[in-house]
Structure 1
Amino acid sequence: MTPTPPRLVATDLDGTLLRADGTLSAPSRRVLAALDERGVHVVLVTARPRRWMLDLWPVVGAHGLAVVSNGALTWDVAADRPVETRPFDPAVGRAVVSRVAAAVPGAGFGVERVSGLVCDAAYTEIEDPPAGLVVDDPERLWDEPGLKLLVQDEGADPAALRDAVTEAVGDDAEATWTLPGLVEVSARGVTKGVALAHLAAGLGIDAAEVVAFGDMPNDVAMLTWAGRGCAVANAHPDVRAAADEVVGHHDDDGVARALAGLFDLPSAVMGAC
């Protein structure tokens, strides 16, 4: 008996669905479009903030939703509105910043909001933030609900930075990382896995009907919750160990190839890679 294909596909972006240069390949675009035509829910689940997703929204398709900021915001792409937010309690956010600042002198701080990024002068954004989003008083980082706290120290040893921030955060929040020199902190209990579970429940979809793909430790909660959790070949060792299976490398369209096989898509969909 042929297994029933999943009803929901959840995939991380950087290091997983996207290639090393940050692009989405033509074969991957065709696979996602084919799933959309079949009515499969395609959910992008990423640490990226919403403001870094505008160019990728079209690939989500008519049935797609997205989870951004490591699970702190679920976004309805078609309606361009939030479905659910999981922000920090401002008092907890202030206390966490105070403890991390003491543990990592010279660290820069940023806070992702639904409206965008606010940061202090020590934080270096990849894209220069618009005027007015750099604050002198760390208290102002929490003027609006914060979705994710960013702790940056590009000169620090990555492992030492992660350990110091994780210890300072304690049980008040969730510390994860995807890039050296940066630790991302979410409110307690907020993970990609929790957000995906809530999203799926709202659609009437069980974990057994979900396939998920990822590459970094912040993906583990999502992969272990999904009925089928897949790590790409280039994934962190902890992620490969936690996954049900390992698929191809992200530079070889491993996610697209796995989905093409899982959904028995025509070979023409993948085409020449």
Structure 2
Amino acid sequence: MSDVRLIATDLDGTLLDPSGRIAEAEAEAVRAASQAGIVVVVATGRPLRWLDVLAPIADADPLVVACNGAVVYDLHADTVVRSHTLDVPLIGALAHDLRGALPGLLFALEEGRRFSTEDAWAYHLPDASRSLAQEESVTRRGAWACVLAEAGDVVKFLALHPDADPDDLLAAATDVLGGRAEVTHSVTAGRRALLEMSAPGISKAATIAELAAERGITPAQVAAFGDMPNDLAMLEYAGMPYVMANGHPALLERFAVIGSNAEGGVGAQIRRLLG
């Protein structure tokens, strides 16, 4: 068996198949890794309310890093272990600067289990784990000033542009933010550009590094799987980084490529790592 002590995997486009589920072969591989003593970490941009898809691997007792590293969640206890929030006045300043430089943006906030948006926001990512009715039940809408005034503990600040190219919008927003927040995206070209912003220094990689260090695990002993720009730092951190064949072109150029999520690429590579 290779010297892997921690496996970190993204969900959408990675561990989840195109229908938005964890296939049984993938679940079996994850459970086998856990039984071999390997720490399993699910690292996703998803909020807590979209984690029902983890049921097939619950027996592997995975550590769950949600909202791009802002939240560590105990799946069995259904509790947040730690969180890194964004300061609300900072969000207001970022929104002001982004809208001034990039007209047409709409904003939303992830607040644990609540989703708060501007009235004009009409963006959802349908998948097999949830319904539009379920999403509407936790969504609060209003004028942006009201959304900010009533904000609670914000773990992710979202900005949507209906027409921009995701990579171009990310590059422009990075310049505007100037390091005041972490910004990334997890969509492909041709889809509405959605920026995801976290507190400074917070990413999947940073939180996984914390969890690994607490367990005496070095980066060289970490295998990571991802497909989109919000996985980039995690893949750079891991000593064994793998990108899905269906991944973003910028990642395909840099890391070892495995089978797509439709082909069960994560499970197949885990089985190789287990020998």
Smaller-chain TM-score bracket: 0.7 to 0.9
CA distance in 1, matches of 2:163, 2:270: 39
Question: Which piece of structure 1 moves more, 90-99 or 75-84?
Answer: 75-84
Equivalent residue, structure 1, for 2:211: 199
Equivalent residue, structure 2, for 1:262: 273
TM-score, normalization by structure 2: 0.87
Is 1:174 equivalent to 2:172 in the alignment?
no
Displaced runs of 4+ in structure 1, greater than 6 A? none
Question: Which piece of structure 1 moves more, 189-198 or 101-110?
Answer: 101-110
For 1:3-14, list aligned pairs within 5 A.
3-4=2-3, 6-14=4-12
Equivalent residue, structure 2, for 1:239: 251
Aligned amino acid, residue 193 of structure 1: A
Task: Using the TM superposition, give the Cα deviation of residue 124 of structure 1 relative to its aligned residue in structure 2, in angstroms.
Answer: 1.8
Q: Which runs of 5+ in 2 are unaligned?
A: 125-131
Is 1:75 equivalent to 2:73 in the alignment?
yes
Is 1:253 equivalent to 2:264 in the alignment?
yes
TM-score, normalization by structure 1: 0.87
Any idea what the Cα deviations from partners look like across 1:106-161, whole Å, max 9, x if unmatched? 32211111232111112224244327711224353362121111111223343443
Equivalent of 1:115, from 91, 113, 116?
113
- SS of residue matched to 1:239: helix
Determine if contact 1:110/1:141 at 8 Å carries over to the other structure. Answer: no
CA distance in 2, matches of 1:169, 1:87: 17
Equivalent residue, structure 2, for 1:135: 142
CA distance in 1, matches of 2:153, 2:50: 19
Equivalent residue, structure 2, for 1:25: 23
Over 3 Å counting, the alpha-carbon distance change for 1:9 and 1:157 in structure 2 is: closer
Aligned amino acid, residue 208 of structure 2: L
Question: Which piece of structure 1 moves more, 36-45 or 193-202?
Answer: 36-45
Q: Which runs of 5+ in 1 are unaligned?
A: 265-273
CA distance in 2, matches of 1:121, 1:23: 31
CA distance in 2, matches of 1:106, 1:235: 28
Question: Which piece of structure 1 moves more, 105-114 or 155-164?
Answer: 155-164
Equivalent residue, structure 2, for 1:270: none
Question: Which piece of structure 1 moves more, 60-69 or 46-55?
Answer: 60-69
- SS of residue matched to 1:101: helix
Over 3 Å counting, the alpha-carbon distance change for 1:24 and 1:131 in structure 2 is: closer
Query: Identity of aligned pairs, percent?
Result: 34
Over 3 Å counting, the alpha-carbon distance change for 1:132 and 1:28 in structure 2 is: closer
CA distance in 2, matches of 1:131, 1:238: 34
Task: Using the TM superposition, give the Cα deviation of residue 43 of structure 1 relative to its aligned residue in structure 2, in angstroms.
Answer: 0.9
Equivalent of 2:201, from 189, 198, 211?
189
Aligned amino acid, residue 165 of structure 1: A
Over 3 Å counting, the alpha-carbon distance change for 1:131 and 1:30 in structure 2 is: closer
Determine if contact 1:45/1:70 at 8 Å carries over to the other structure. Answer: yes
CA distance in 1, matches of 2:244, 2:171: 26
CA distance in 1, matches of 2:212, 2:260: 27
Task: Using the TM superposition, give the Cα deviation of residue 165 of structure 1 relative to its aligned residue in structure 2, in angstroms.
Answer: 2.6
